[in-house]
């Protein structure tokens, strides 16, 4: 076994010494780097001006500005300094069952599950009961600006 292993490494080293071998080394390095990536953790984000942000605080602030701009709503949300910002949100401003129904219809079956580990087919199968439950959950999140455990 040791002889076979040694011969295999000798062939590999000889192959890596060629021009094609250099390309293979780079390909192996890229593949290894991709396998070590942790997709659940964002390590860097580009700022609005294109600068790469690597500090956790800067990344969180960038995401906050991004979603405020994206959603274009002024709701009650926690200020990083500890206080609350004022709300200009009306009582009518909530997520409707129809919006959720539309979103569920647009979702494809058979896709990977999210962090909740619940496939979209479950929500579709639950029908009106699931729709009412999701509507209430999303409105609680919307009102409190906090994700329930």
Q: Tens digit of pLDDT for each residue in 41-93?
A: 667 888 888 899 888 888 889 988 888 887 765 544 444 445 544 444 444 56
Task: Break the chain down into helix, strand, coil percent, rounded to 5.
Answer: 55, 5, 40
Strands (E), 7-84: 45-46, 52-53
Q: Residues 111-137: pLDDT tens digits?
A: 888 878 889 899 889 999 999 999 999
Q: Residues 83-99: pLDDT tens digits?
A: 544 444 444 568 899 99
What per-residue confidence (pLDDT) applies to 79? 46
What per-residue confidence (pLDDT) applies to 73? 55
Query: Buried b vs exposed e over 55-93: b needs ≥16 C-beta within 10 Å?
Result: eeeebeebeeeeeeeeeeeeeebeeeeeeeeeeeeeeee
pTM of the model: 0.40
What per-residue confidence (pLDDT) applies to 24? 83
Of 139 and 13, which is predicted with more confidence? 139
Percentage of the chain lying above the pLDDT 90 cut: 18
Residue 101: which pLDDT band, with cuts at 50, 70 and 90?
A: very high
């Amino acid at each position: 076994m040791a002889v076979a292993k040694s011969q295999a490494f000798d062939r590999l080293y000889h192959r890596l010494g060629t021009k094609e071998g250099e390309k293979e080394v780079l390909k192996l390095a890229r593949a290894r780097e991709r396998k070590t990536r942790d997709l659940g953790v964002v390590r860097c984000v580009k700022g609005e001006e294109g600068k790469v942000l690597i500090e956790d605080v800067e990344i969180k602030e960038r995401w906050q500005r991004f979603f405020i701009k994206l959603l274009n709503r002024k709701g009650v949300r926690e200020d990083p300094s500890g206080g609350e910002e004022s709300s200009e949100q009306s009582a009518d401003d909530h997520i409707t069952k129809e919006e959720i129904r539309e979103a569920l219809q647009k979702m494809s079956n058979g896709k990977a599950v999210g962090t909740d580990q619940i496939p979209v087919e479950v929500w579709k199968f639950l029908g009106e009961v699931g729709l009412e439950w999701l509507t209430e959950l999303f409105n609680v999140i919307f009102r409190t600006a906090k994700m329930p455990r």
